Protein backbone atom coordinates (compact mmCIF):
# COMPACT_ATOMS: atom_id res chain seq x y z
CA UNK A 1 0.00 0.00 0.00
CA UNK A 2 1.43 3.39 -0.97
CA UNK A 3 2.01 6.09 1.64
CA UNK A 4 -0.75 8.24 0.09
CA UNK A 5 -3.24 5.38 0.25
CA UNK A 6 -2.25 4.60 3.83
CA UNK A 7 -2.85 8.18 4.93
CA UNK A 8 -6.18 8.31 3.08
CA UNK A 9 -7.21 5.08 4.79
CA UNK A 10 -6.37 6.45 8.22
CA UNK A 11 -8.20 9.71 7.47
CA UNK A 12 -11.32 7.66 6.69
CA UNK A 13 -10.94 5.90 10.05
CA UNK A 14 -10.62 9.26 11.80
CA UNK A 15 -13.76 10.59 10.13
CA UNK A 16 -15.66 7.48 11.17
CA UNK A 17 -14.74 8.31 14.77
CA UNK A 18 -15.89 11.95 14.77
CA UNK A 19 -18.85 11.30 17.08
CA UNK A 20 -16.53 9.55 19.53
CA UNK A 21 -14.04 12.41 19.55
CA UNK A 22 -16.84 14.88 20.16
CA UNK A 23 -17.68 12.90 23.29
CA UNK A 24 -14.10 13.34 24.45
CA UNK A 25 -14.31 17.11 24.51
CA UNK A 26 -17.92 17.48 25.54
CA UNK A 27 -18.48 18.66 29.10
CA UNK A 28 -17.47 15.76 31.40
CA UNK A 29 -19.65 14.73 34.31
CA UNK A 30 -18.40 16.37 37.50
CA UNK A 31 -18.33 14.32 40.72
CA UNK A 32 -21.16 16.48 42.09
CA UNK A 33 -23.41 15.23 39.25
CA UNK A 34 -22.85 11.58 40.06
CA UNK A 35 -25.59 9.61 41.79
CA UNK A 36 -25.17 10.26 45.59
CA UNK A 37 -24.63 6.60 46.43
CA UNK A 38 -22.05 6.19 43.69
CA UNK A 39 -20.45 9.54 44.59
CA UNK A 40 -19.89 8.34 48.16
CA UNK A 41 -18.29 5.20 46.79
CA UNK A 42 -16.14 7.30 44.46
CA UNK A 43 -14.99 9.55 47.30
CA UNK A 44 -14.22 6.63 49.60
CA UNK A 45 -12.17 4.84 46.96
CA UNK A 46 -10.36 8.04 46.05
CA UNK A 47 -9.19 8.66 49.62
CA UNK A 48 -6.65 5.87 49.93
CA UNK A 49 -4.61 6.04 46.69
CA UNK A 50 -3.47 9.59 46.02
CA UNK A 51 -4.14 10.67 42.39
CA UNK A 52 -0.79 12.46 42.22
CA UNK A 53 0.68 9.74 40.04
CA UNK A 54 -0.80 7.27 37.58
CA UNK A 55 1.57 4.67 38.98
CA UNK A 56 -0.73 4.31 41.99
CA UNK A 57 -3.41 1.63 41.95
CA UNK A 58 -6.26 4.08 41.37
CA UNK A 59 -5.58 4.05 37.62
CA UNK A 60 -7.12 0.74 36.42
CA UNK A 61 -5.80 0.87 32.83
CA UNK A 62 -2.12 0.96 33.82
CA UNK A 63 -0.63 -2.42 32.87
CA UNK A 64 2.57 -3.65 34.47
CA UNK A 65 5.27 -5.24 32.31
CA UNK A 66 7.49 -8.12 33.31
CA UNK A 67 11.25 -7.68 33.63
CA UNK A 68 11.70 -9.61 30.37
CA UNK A 69 9.24 -7.31 28.58
CA UNK A 70 11.04 -4.24 29.92
CA UNK A 71 14.33 -5.58 28.57
CA UNK A 72 12.79 -6.31 25.17
CA UNK A 73 11.49 -2.76 25.03
CA UNK A 74 14.91 -1.20 25.57
CA UNK A 75 16.61 0.46 22.56
CA UNK A 76 19.40 -1.39 20.79
CA UNK A 77 22.70 -1.18 22.70
CA UNK A 78 24.44 0.07 19.53
CA UNK A 79 22.11 3.07 19.46
CA UNK A 80 22.70 3.80 23.13
CA UNK A 81 26.44 3.90 22.50
CA UNK A 82 26.17 5.85 19.25
CA UNK A 83 23.99 8.58 20.74
CA UNK A 84 25.49 8.62 24.24
CA UNK A 85 26.82 12.19 23.91
CA UNK A 86 23.51 13.45 22.55
CA UNK A 87 21.62 11.82 25.42
CA UNK A 88 23.82 13.62 27.97
CA UNK A 89 22.09 16.83 26.96
CA UNK A 90 19.04 17.90 29.01
CA UNK A 91 15.52 17.20 27.74
CA UNK A 92 16.55 14.41 25.35
CA UNK A 93 15.72 10.73 25.17
CA UNK A 94 15.57 7.56 23.13
CA UNK A 95 12.65 5.12 22.97
CA UNK A 96 11.61 2.03 21.08
CA UNK A 97 8.05 1.57 19.82
CA UNK A 98 6.60 -1.76 18.76
CA UNK A 99 3.80 -1.87 16.22
CA UNK A 100 0.29 -1.74 17.69
CA UNK A 101 -1.47 -5.00 16.79
CA UNK A 102 -4.73 -4.01 18.46
CA UNK A 103 -4.08 -6.27 21.44
CA UNK A 104 -5.00 -3.47 23.87
CA UNK A 105 -7.88 -1.94 21.92
CA UNK A 106 -10.39 -2.93 24.60
CA UNK A 107 -9.38 -2.58 28.26
CA UNK A 108 -12.14 -5.02 29.26
CA UNK A 109 -10.82 -7.83 27.05
CA UNK A 110 -7.50 -9.68 27.27
CA UNK A 111 -6.46 -11.19 23.95
CA UNK A 112 -4.42 -14.38 24.18
CA UNK A 113 -4.18 -15.32 20.48
CA UNK A 114 -0.81 -16.01 18.88
CA UNK A 115 -0.39 -12.47 17.53
CA UNK A 116 -0.80 -10.98 21.00
CA UNK A 117 1.03 -13.62 23.03
CA UNK A 118 4.40 -11.90 22.54
CA UNK A 119 3.24 -8.31 22.58
CA UNK A 120 4.54 -5.85 25.20
CA UNK A 121 1.82 -3.98 27.13
CA UNK A 122 2.01 -0.26 26.39
CA UNK A 123 4.98 -0.75 24.07
CA UNK A 124 3.24 1.02 21.20
CA UNK A 125 2.30 4.16 23.15
CA UNK A 126 4.55 6.82 24.64
CA UNK A 127 4.06 10.07 26.55
CA UNK A 128 6.82 12.63 26.01
CA UNK A 129 5.20 14.71 28.72
CA UNK A 130 5.56 11.96 31.31
CA UNK A 131 8.64 10.34 29.73
CA UNK A 132 7.05 6.92 30.01
CA UNK A 133 5.14 4.27 28.10
CA UNK A 134 1.43 4.62 28.71
CA UNK A 135 -2.01 3.77 27.29
CA UNK A 136 -3.49 4.79 23.94
CA UNK A 137 -5.72 7.28 25.73
CA UNK A 138 -2.82 9.27 27.20
CA UNK A 139 -0.17 8.71 24.52
CA UNK A 140 1.49 11.62 22.71
CA UNK A 141 2.71 9.27 19.99
CA UNK A 142 1.81 5.75 18.97
CA UNK A 143 3.01 3.45 16.21
CA UNK A 144 0.67 1.34 14.09
CA UNK A 145 1.07 -0.27 10.66
CA UNK A 146 4.10 1.85 9.79
CA UNK A 147 2.38 5.08 10.83
CA UNK A 148 3.14 7.61 13.55
CA UNK A 149 -0.14 8.71 15.13
CA UNK A 150 -0.71 11.50 17.66
CA UNK A 151 -4.30 11.70 18.86
CA UNK A 152 -4.34 11.35 22.65
CA UNK A 153 -7.52 12.11 24.54
CA UNK A 154 -8.32 15.81 25.11
CA UNK A 155 -5.22 16.80 23.13
CA UNK A 156 -4.60 18.85 19.99
CA UNK A 157 -1.43 17.40 18.48
CA UNK A 158 0.30 18.09 15.16
CA UNK A 159 2.99 16.08 13.35
CA UNK A 160 5.26 17.26 10.51
CA UNK A 161 7.99 15.52 8.53
CA UNK A 162 11.19 17.58 8.35
CA UNK A 163 13.35 15.21 6.28
CA UNK A 164 16.85 13.82 6.67
CA UNK A 165 18.06 16.50 9.09
CA UNK A 166 20.23 15.97 12.15
CA UNK A 167 18.46 16.63 15.44
CA UNK A 168 21.36 18.85 16.48
CA UNK A 169 20.47 21.18 13.61
CA UNK A 170 16.78 21.49 14.49
CA UNK A 171 15.56 24.42 16.59
CA UNK A 172 12.43 26.54 16.94
CA UNK A 173 13.75 28.63 14.03
CA UNK A 174 14.11 25.66 11.68
CA UNK A 175 12.07 25.42 8.48
CA UNK A 176 8.84 23.60 9.14
CA UNK A 177 8.70 24.51 12.83
CA UNK A 178 7.18 27.98 12.39
CA UNK A 179 3.64 26.68 11.89
CA UNK A 180 3.91 24.69 15.11
CA UNK A 181 5.15 27.66 17.15
CA UNK A 182 2.50 30.02 15.75
CA UNK A 183 -0.39 27.56 16.00
CA UNK A 184 -3.06 28.84 18.42
CA UNK A 185 -5.14 26.00 19.89
CA UNK A 186 -8.84 26.70 20.27
CA UNK A 187 -10.10 26.63 23.85
CA UNK A 188 -13.83 26.03 23.26
CA UNK A 189 -14.74 22.35 22.84
CA UNK A 190 -16.78 22.80 19.64
CA UNK A 191 -14.20 24.92 17.82
CA UNK A 192 -11.42 22.66 19.09
CA UNK A 193 -13.20 19.73 17.44
CA UNK A 194 -13.34 21.60 14.11
CA UNK A 195 -9.65 22.44 14.45
CA UNK A 196 -8.93 18.79 15.18
CA UNK A 197 -10.62 17.68 11.97
CA UNK A 198 -8.80 20.30 9.91
CA UNK A 199 -5.49 18.83 11.05
CA UNK A 200 -6.74 15.30 10.39
CA UNK A 201 -7.37 16.28 6.75
CA UNK A 202 -3.95 17.94 6.61
CA UNK A 203 -2.75 21.53 6.52
CA UNK A 204 -0.28 22.44 3.76
CA UNK A 205 2.12 25.33 4.37
CA UNK A 206 4.78 25.77 1.67
CA UNK A 207 6.84 22.56 1.55
CA UNK A 208 5.41 20.94 4.68
CA UNK A 209 2.19 19.17 5.52
CA UNK A 210 0.87 19.04 9.08
CA UNK A 211 -1.20 16.06 10.17
CA UNK A 212 -2.06 13.78 13.07
CA UNK A 213 -0.99 10.70 11.12
CA UNK A 214 2.23 10.41 9.13
CA UNK A 215 4.36 7.53 7.74
CA UNK A 216 7.46 6.59 9.74
CA UNK A 217 10.64 6.55 7.62
CA UNK A 218 14.04 5.45 8.85
CA UNK A 219 16.72 8.16 9.05
CA UNK A 220 14.05 10.85 8.92
CA UNK A 221 13.37 13.65 11.39
CA UNK A 222 9.99 14.96 12.50
CA UNK A 223 8.55 17.60 14.82
CA UNK A 224 5.45 17.51 16.97
CA UNK A 225 3.36 20.06 18.83
CA UNK A 226 1.55 18.53 21.80
CA UNK A 227 -1.27 20.52 23.36
CA UNK A 228 -2.61 18.42 26.22
CA UNK A 229 -5.56 20.47 27.43
CA UNK A 230 -6.10 20.85 31.15
CA UNK A 231 -9.44 19.42 32.20
CA UNK A 232 -11.12 16.31 33.55
CA UNK A 233 -12.72 13.23 32.04
CA UNK A 234 -14.63 11.09 34.49
CA UNK A 235 -15.03 7.41 33.75
CA UNK A 236 -16.71 4.44 35.33
CA UNK A 237 -14.70 1.25 35.70
CA UNK A 238 -16.52 -1.56 37.50
CA UNK A 239 -18.44 0.95 39.60
CA UNK A 240 -15.36 3.05 40.29
CA UNK A 241 -15.66 6.67 39.15
CA UNK A 242 -12.35 8.39 38.52
CA UNK A 243 -10.74 11.15 36.49
CA UNK A 244 -8.88 9.66 33.53
CA UNK A 245 -6.52 12.66 33.48
CA UNK A 246 -5.75 12.78 37.20
CA UNK A 247 -1.99 12.82 37.73
CA UNK A 248 -1.26 13.29 34.01
CA UNK A 249 0.99 16.24 33.13
CA UNK A 250 -1.12 18.46 30.91
CA UNK A 251 1.31 20.76 29.12
CA UNK A 252 1.90 22.43 25.76
CA UNK A 253 5.23 21.40 24.20
CA UNK A 254 7.18 21.12 20.95
CA UNK A 255 9.65 18.32 20.24
CA UNK A 256 11.83 17.12 17.41
CA UNK A 257 12.50 13.41 16.96
CA UNK A 258 14.24 11.14 14.48
CA UNK A 259 13.59 7.53 13.45
CA UNK A 260 17.10 6.18 13.88
CA UNK A 261 16.26 2.50 13.44
CA UNK A 262 13.64 0.22 11.92
CA UNK A 263 14.06 -3.37 13.08
CA UNK A 264 13.04 -6.54 11.27
CA UNK A 265 10.37 -7.19 13.92
CA UNK A 266 8.58 -4.01 12.81
CA UNK A 267 9.61 -1.88 15.78
CA UNK A 268 11.18 1.57 15.45
CA UNK A 269 13.57 3.57 17.61
CA UNK A 270 13.08 7.30 18.14
CA UNK A 271 15.73 9.74 19.29
CA UNK A 272 14.15 12.96 20.56
CA UNK A 273 14.74 16.35 22.11
CA UNK A 274 12.40 18.90 23.63
CA UNK A 275 12.38 22.37 22.04
CA UNK A 276 9.76 24.23 24.05
CA UNK A 277 7.32 23.76 26.94
CA UNK A 278 4.65 25.95 28.50
CA UNK A 279 1.40 25.78 30.40
CA UNK A 280 -1.41 24.17 28.43
CA UNK A 281 -4.75 25.94 27.95
CA UNK A 282 -7.79 24.72 29.83
CA UNK A 283 -10.62 23.38 27.73
CA UNK A 284 -13.83 25.36 28.02
CA UNK A 285 -17.30 24.09 27.19
CA UNK A 286 -19.83 25.85 25.07
CA UNK A 287 -23.08 26.46 26.90
CA UNK A 288 -25.86 24.34 25.48
CA UNK A 289 -29.36 25.54 24.84
CA UNK A 290 -32.02 24.28 27.22
CA UNK A 291 -33.73 22.12 24.60
CA UNK A 292 -30.49 20.79 23.12
CA UNK A 293 -30.02 16.99 23.41
CA UNK A 294 -27.63 15.89 26.14
CA UNK A 295 -24.50 13.98 25.15
CA UNK A 296 -23.21 10.89 26.90
CA UNK A 297 -21.57 11.88 30.22
CA UNK A 298 -18.55 9.60 29.77
CA UNK A 299 -16.28 8.89 26.88
CA UNK A 300 -16.87 5.52 25.30
CA UNK A 301 -14.60 2.49 25.53
CA UNK A 302 -13.26 3.33 22.08
CA UNK A 303 -11.75 6.70 21.32
CA UNK A 304 -10.21 8.26 18.25
CA UNK A 305 -6.91 7.06 19.72
CA UNK A 306 -7.90 3.52 18.77
CA UNK A 307 -8.51 4.22 15.07
Number of separate domains in the chain? 1
Residue 286 has what DSSP assignment?
A: P
Portion of the chain with pLDDT greater than 70, in percent: 69
Cβ-based neighbour number of residue 289 at 10 Å: 6
CA distances from 229 to 40, 138, 142, 146, 248 (A): 28, 12, 19, 27, 11
pLDDT tens across 10-51, in order? 544 444 434 334 334 444 444 444 444 444 443 333 333 444
Q: Answer whether residue 81 shows pLDDT above 90.
A: yes
Q: Answer whether residue 253 shows pLDDT above 70.
A: yes
Q: Answer whether residue 72 shows pLDDT above 70.
A: yes
Mean pLDDT over the full length of the chain: 79
Cβ-based neighbour number of residue 116 at 10 Å: 13
Q: Strands, E, within 68-182: which ranges?
A: 92-97, 125-127, 132-133, 141-144, 147-149, 155-163
For residues 285 and 26, is the Cβ–Cβ distance under 8 A?
yes
Per the model's pLDDT, the better-predicted residue between 112 and 301 turns out to be 112
Phi, psi for residue 163 in degrees, rounded to 5:
105, -170
The pLDDT, as a whole number, for residue 139 is: 94
Q: Answer whether residue 282 shows pLDDT above 60.
A: yes
Q: Answer whether residue 2 shows pLDDT above 80.
A: no
Q: Answer whether residue 257 shows pLDDT above 70.
A: yes
pLDDT tens across 140-194, in order? 999 999 999 999 999 999 999 999 999 999 999 999 999 999 999 999 999 999 9
Burial call 92-115: b when 16+ CB within 10 Å, e when fewer: bbbbbbbbbbebbeeeeeeeeeee
Range of the domain at 175: 3-306
Per the model's pLDDT, the better-predicted residue between 58 and 210 turns out to be 210
Q: Answer whether residue 305 shows pLDDT above 60.
A: no
Amino acid sequence: MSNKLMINWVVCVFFSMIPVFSQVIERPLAPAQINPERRNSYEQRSESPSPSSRNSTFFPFKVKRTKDQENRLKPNSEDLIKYADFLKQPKTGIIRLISDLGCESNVYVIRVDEACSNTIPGGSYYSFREKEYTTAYLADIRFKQGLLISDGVLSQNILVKLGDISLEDISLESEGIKYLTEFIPEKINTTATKQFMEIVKGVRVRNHEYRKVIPAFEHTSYAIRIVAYRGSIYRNFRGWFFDLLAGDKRVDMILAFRVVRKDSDGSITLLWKELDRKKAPKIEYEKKKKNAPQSAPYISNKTVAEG
